[in-house]
Amino acid sequence: MTKYRTKCVEIEAFRFQDLDAALYWLSKNADSSNYQPCVTPAGTQYIKFEVPEGQVKAYKGDWLVKLSNSKPIYPCNNVTFNEQYELMPALAKEGVPGPETEITRAGK
């Protein structure tokens, strides 16, 4: 049997830990008509995305993923993200925050 593997794909990603920080990142990286912040009756914050496949939701702890050549942002749960992606080695040497780092806006 012939085996295949996925091609290396460069992405930009942000871990959704804080709604305000996630919305700030999205404002810089996504079309505002692509997403909407939401809150469940129980108070759980999430972001709803409109993508070509339909509606998808991102919850705290999920990653917001942008392929280098695409407009839509796709949510990805943390387990799947850690299985499929790794920090690019050149960036790791430059001190760019990795997956374990929570990024928030200045002043938060």
pLDDT tens, residue by residue, 3-62: 877 777 888 899 999 999 999 999 998 888 889 999 999 999 999 999 888 999 999 999
Residue 96 within a domain? no
CA distance linking residue 21 with residue 94, whole number of Å: 23
Residues 6+ apart with CB under 8 A from 85: 11, 13, 65, 99
Residue 5 lies in a domain: no
Let me know: does 13 contact 81? Beta carbons within 8 Å: yes
Domain encompassing residue 20: 11-88
Predicted pLDDT at 100: 46
> How far apart (Å, rounded) are the C-alpha atoms in residues 30 and 22?
11
99 falls within a domain: no
Q: Which tokens hold the place of 101?
A: 């780092």
Task: Please give the angle made by the CA atoms of 90, 73 and 38, to the nearest 5 degrees.
Answer: 130
106 has a pLDDT exceeding 50? no
How many CA atoms are closer than 13 Å to the CA of 52, on its beta-carbon side?
3
Structural domain contains residue 39: yes
- Does residue 98 lie in a domain region? no
Residue 30 falls inside a structural domain: yes
In a domain, 21, yes or no: yes
CA 58 from centroid of its chain's CA atoms: 8
pTM of the model: 0.74
Kindly state whether residue 106 falls inside one of the protein's structural domains.
no
- What is the tally of structural domains in the chain? 1
pLDDT category at 92 given cuts 50, 70, 90 is low
Q: What is the pLDDT of residue 108?
A: 37
